[in-house]
Amino acid sequence: MDLGKFQIFSMLTRRMAWLGQRQQVLAQNIANANTPGYAPRDLKPLDFRRAMSEAGGKLAMRVTNVAHMPAAGPPAPRFVAEKERGVYESTPTGNAVVLEEQLMKVSKTVMDYRLMADLYRKHVNMIKTALGRPGA
């Protein structure tokens, strides 16, 4: 069963991909904390309203054949990192990375990722229960 056909799973997967990529960008910021002239970067936040409008009427489950669901899914989205706005502190060498700020963002990203993983797991368990296979 291809869970990517369900809009809720594709939205959760997209959010998890965004969070994973954000974690990489934040790790680069922390790694360059002592690089002269380095400006921290972050990903542009996902717009929930736009995601819902793109989903349109696709939130309902659709199956063309009750016995088959294809296994292919959409490619993973790529997100663009941009320089952070509102940087208010920098070192004399021009580095604007504030480690405490970056670590707070990292921990929030980890918490958000765990939330998405829990939601994903709960929805899979609901589908299993509906199919008569709880805990399978």
Residue 18 makes CB contacts below 8 A (sequence gap 6+) with 43, 46, 77, 79
5 in a domain, yes or no? no
84 in a domain, yes or no? yes
Contact indicator for 51, 12 with CB cutoff of 8 Å: no
Q: Which of 124, 98, 114 is nearest to 20 (CA)?
A: 114
61 in a domain, yes or no? yes
Tell me how far apart the alpha carbons of residues 114 and 21 are, in angstroms, rounded to a whole number: 15
Q: What is the count of structural domains for the chain?
A: 1
- Residue numbers of the domain that contains 107: 24-130
Q: Which of 121, 132, 129, 7 is nearest to 62 (CA)?
A: 7
94 in a domain, yes or no? yes
19 in a domain, yes or no? no
6 in a domain, yes or no? no
14 in a domain, yes or no? no
50 in a domain, yes or no? yes
Instruction: Write out the chain's pLDDT in tens, 136 residues.
Output: 677 778 888 889 999 999 999 999 999 999 999 999 999 999 988 776 776 666 655 554 455 565 655 444 444 455 666 666 665 666 778 788 999 999 999 999 999 999 999 999 999 999 889 888 766 5
pTM of the model: 0.69
